[in-house]
Structure formats: C-alpha cells, structure tokens
Structure 1
Amino acid sequence: MSLTHRPRRLRRNPAIRRLVKETHLTVDDLIYPMFVMEGENTRVEVPSMPGAYRFTLDLLLKEIAEVYDLGINAIALFPAVPDEKKDVTGSESYNPDGLIQRSVRAIKQAVPDILVITDVALDPFTTHGHDGILDENGIILNDPTVEVLVKMSLSQALAGADMVAPSDMMDGRIGAIRQALDEHGYEHVSILAYSAKYASAYYGPFRDALGSAPKSGDKKTYQMDPANTREALKEVYLDIAEGADIVMVKPALAYLDIIAKVKEATDLPVAAYNVSGEYSMIKAAAQLGWIDEKKVMLETLTSMKRAGADIILTYFAKEVAQILGVHPRY
C-alpha cells in the first residue's frame, strides 16, 4: 500500500511510545487518603478494601514517614470515631483535642513538609451518619450545619492543617469557611472543595472503614444525582465564586466526562477522587486472578489524568509510588 500516514510508526518500540506519550502519571499527582483511629500500636485492614488500613496514631506516623520517603507529598485524613463520641450534631468534630486535631498536630511535628488535608463533614461524628444536622422530621438543616462545619474547619486550621476539604455538599459552606478562616488569620489555609460529589453507590467500602453509613434514608438531598451534568458545573462555579482553591469531582471512574467538562470550565486545579468502590473492584478482581492489578490500576489512574484531573486522591497512591519510584523534590 502507498500510505502517506502510518500512525504505527510512532508505536514501533517503547522508546518512541514514551517520546510521544500525551498523558503522564506521576507521584506528584497523588493524594493518599488515610484512616486514623483511637488506640495504640494497632493496624486493622478494612475488610472491603484489601490493602487499606485503619491506623492508630503511633503507627499512622510511621506509615506517613514511609510514604513521604516514597515521594508522596500529600495525605487526606479521615477519622474512625468511636460511637461514644458521636452525637446528633457532630460536636466532637470541632473538639480541639479530638482525634483529627491531635493527629494533625502530631503529623506536622513528625513530618512537617507533608501536606495534610482534613475532611470537613459531619457523618463520621453523628449518631445518624448524615453529613448534617437533622430536624425532628429527619430533614437536613443546611445553615445550622454550615455553622458547625465552620467550627470544624477552624479547629483543623488551628491544629495545623494545610488544607481543609469540605465534602458535605451543603449550600454556601465554601464561602462561610473561607470568610471564617480569613477572619481568624488562616488566610494561608487552602480549600479543596468537593464541588461535584455525586450520591454514588461506589462509596460503600469507605463507609465500612469509618462506620459512617447513614442509619436511615440516603444522601440524595445533598449529594448530586448521578444522571446530572449541568448541575456539576453550577456547583463548581458556585464554589469558585465562594473562594475554593481546588475543585473536585467524586467519584472519578464513572464520571470521566464530568472531569473533562469541569477541566474545560475552570483554570483552577481539578481533583478527582478514585473512591473506595473503584479501588475495591480492582482489588477483588485481581485477587480472583481475573485482571492484572498493576496494569489495570495504572490504566485507570491514567484515564483520570487524561480526562483532565490535575490531582487524584487514590488508595493506590503508595503502590503507585513504589512502582514509579521517588520523584525528586525541587
């Protein structure tokens, strides 16, 4: 055949393929979500998340030092709160000596250069498992919830958090948190907004890890309908207007189209959360010998980068860092 264009010429060997690769996944792209619990000298694997663990603070510090040495620059911290510390309003969330606050202080002392991102949501702290305060009819009260989220954010900033990440999907919470942080001298603390967080069935293993599943009802009055696209952009625009530094789409794998549209709509960094269900499906299939875990893991994360994610929160972060090797810090 007489062909002017033969695209296979640029696929001929590994060197050429590396030279023309369009999307690059690096350790610098990753945030490692980690679970902390009360106690000492204990590490418990999450049954529905093989390879993911809840750590007591002493062992968490050792794990963080290890992942930082692997080149991971940021962690997102989530608490497994004992039932006796939960109540209907989530008041433990802003306890200055609470699990998260103590953990942040200890992490910043032990590994001061790692970026510590704290979750801002009430579901780990409430007896009912919802992300907000309920009225007598079980309806989420938006504005009273935001008042508690502000207190929670301030307590985390005081403890030394570098970035707060409101994941609750209450209206107006980004603006309220930004204003409060600035007024209290924490203008340097960034906000990673869970801007387009869908009411997804992919969150189940995460809720097992924290014991934070709602005791009744669902989260569809505050998390988004998985069928909606335009709503995601509206939420992103609102969060940007209110002062978000980074916007996020959650989940990631079934929402690559949303990631791409959000990337086109803003110049802010765009994050994607490779959530627990996505992680566990790969782990389970690999354990059954149905897939090559390493290859599928890297392909999946690369697809998120290709869609437009600048940052990926993933439970695979440590494994990826071990595969890709330490990236030099400049």
Structure 2
Amino acid sequence: MLHKLSAGVVTRSPDSIRDYLLLMRLDRPTGYVLYLLPGLWAAVLASGNRPDVRALVVLAVAAVLVRGAACAVNDVVDREVDSRVARTVSRPVASGTIGVRNALLFAVAQGVVALLVLAVANVATAVVVATSYPLIFAYPYMKRIFVWPSAFLALVMSIYVFVGWTAVTGSADYPLAVYALYAGGAFWTLIHDAIYSHQDKEFDRRIGVRSSALLFGDATKVWLAVFAVLSVGGVLWAGSLVATGWAFYPVAALAGGYLAYLIARVDLDKPKSCWDAFVANTYFGWIVLAALVAGLLS
C-alpha cells in the first residue's frame, strides 16, 4: 500500500519536481522504511507504555529526508556506473535530467531540513544525526575500496537506533539495550542488503563493483542464516534487558520465523525474487516493533 501511495504521488506530481522526487526515491519507500524501523524500535523502548507521538512523527519525516539526501549523493558518485546498469540507467543523474550541481544542492537542502525537523524533538537528536552524515555520504565510495561495503552500510544505517532513543529521552547516554538493538539492526541490514545486491551481481562482476552477492557467492544463504540468528538474538537481548513482559517473546519468535521463511524462499538468481524479498523485509521490522510494544504493555 505504501509503495502504491508513494508511486502515485510521484506520478501525479508536476514535471518540474518529479525528477527530484525520483532522485530521493520517494517512489520506492522500502529504503526509508528499513532505515526508520530500528529508530522506531528504540523510540518505543525508550517511551515504555507511553508512546511519544511527536518523536515518532519527527523520526519518520527525518528518515525520508536523510535517506533522500543519501540517495542524491549516491547517485552523483555512481552516475557513470548507474548509466551502465539496466536497473539504474534511468535514474535522474545517470540519465542527465538532473545535473550534478543541482543534485548536490538538493542533498544539502534535505540534510539541513532533516536536522531542523529533528531539533523539534530536541537538539541532541539533530546532533546525533549530523555526526552520522560523513559516514552516510562516504558509503558510495566503499563499493570501490572495501570488499564488503554492506558491512559499512549496516553500521551506518543502524545509527538510527541511537537517534530514536535520543529523540524520546534527549540523552546520548545509551543503556546496553540500545547497543543490543543496534546490533540487531546491523545484522538485519546485512541480510536485506545482501539480498538486494543479488539483483545486480552480473553487472557488478562485469563493471568491477564490490558487493555481498559477489563476496558470498553460492554461500550467501548460509551467511544470511547466521546474520538472522544474530539479528533476532540482538532484539531478544534488548528486550530482556528492559524487562519486557511475556508477550514480547512469542512475537519476537514470530519475527525470527518470518525472516527464516524469507531467506529460504528467495531465489538469489532471479532479480524479481530478490526485489520481492527485499521489500518483504520491512514486515520483519514491523513485527519486531509489534513485539516490543506487546512486551511493554504485557
């Protein structure tokens, strides 16, 4: 539903702004949902049984903007590679509909507005995100210099756990449960990004871009299973540290079962299957969120 709504907004938008909405991937909301969800986990954990609605709204809006800025920078850095890959050749910078200068200005604007939005919760939250910007914008280069760029991405994306906690508490003094959630989010990112990378593995091999698909090869599903155990383990550890009620554990187990199902079902040699599994990973994140809510209410 969210995908159809976002795509509809982009399709109906005026020509003058449509390319910029495409540049920030507004038509493909899966990416910012995956970025947002670990932040929501931490926000719920920090709120207890009294949800902070303002913090949740701020986190959601900022996640779209931060991810939009990251996509714009990524597309500038990858414009020559994107122009040689069938799936990305029509991206605005690669196709030339948006110039490099305008794309970078758009990225800066989104980054600044995101900080202003986060400051509505508290200034400390904006500071946490601002410190992550150099890492976010460095990621496109990791595909060129680092054999496992997904590992870098996992560390960066999961920073939104700290953002979620700070948005509610106003503090950057994080308990162990937040670090456990960070680990759970990082290992989850390794899963969905590895699945995503299998869409382009033949292009990546030919062009010389590094990815999890090329690193793990035929052993990918074995590694995905290991990451799934570690991801769910991090979530369970976090829940146990906050003394969540009994309802947390069966719902968290359901999340783990669903993740195992996705890994077993995906056909890594079929791009459509990889894309569907990548999108379906959002349900794991929502189930984890439901587990935390259930545990705090039970």
Instruction: Please give the TM-score of this superposition, normalised by the length of structure 1.
Output: 0.29
Considering fraction of residues, name the structure with more strand: 1
Instruction: Pick the structure with more helix per residue.
Output: 2
The structure having more radius of gyration, on CA atoms, is: 1
